[in-house]
């Protein structure tokens, strides 16, 4: 997990009412957060408002990008654009 976290540029994590009660989710999010990398939470079964107002939600989660699972295509379009931009910048360097 640590090697993959170091090699990644961002984390996409599925956040469900059940997943947010699992400590390993917070460990993974914390590992990426500590490296200053982008974190995108995909919401399934709860809204952003429900997540951030829920008691016990870590403060860092209130500062990550959240997307509803029904709008995941928007995230993938943005990710594709970031990858293409990075590739074109690397070609020019």
Confidence at residue 62, expressed as pLDDT on a 0 to 100 scale: 66
Unique residue bearing structure tokens 């947010």: 20
Give the three-state DSSP class for 29. Answer: helix
Place of tokens 């990710």: 79
CA-nearest of 93, 39, 90 to 67 is 39
pLDDT reported for residue 68:
94
Give the mean pLDDT of the chain.
86
Task: Name the pLDDT band for 54 (thresholds 50, 70, 90).
Answer: confident
Q: Which stretches within the chain are classed as H helix?
A: 2-7, 23-34, 48-53, 72-92
Convert the pLDDT of each residue in 29-42 to its tens digit: 888 888 999 899 99
For the chain, what percentages of helix, strand and coil (3-state, to nearest 5) are there?
60, 15, 25
């Amino acid at each position: 997990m640590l090697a993959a976290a170091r090699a990644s540029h961002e984390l996409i994590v599925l956040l469900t009412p059940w997943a947010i009660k699992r400590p390993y989710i917070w460990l993974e999010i914390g590992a990426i957060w500590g490296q200053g990398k982008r974190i995108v939470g995909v919401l399934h079964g709860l809204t952003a408002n429900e997540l951030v107002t829920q008691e016990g939600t870590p403060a860092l989660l209130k500062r990550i990008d959240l997307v509803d699972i029904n709008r995941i295509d928007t995230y993938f379009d943005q990710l594709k654009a970031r990858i293409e931009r990075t590739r074109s910048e690397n070609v020019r360097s």
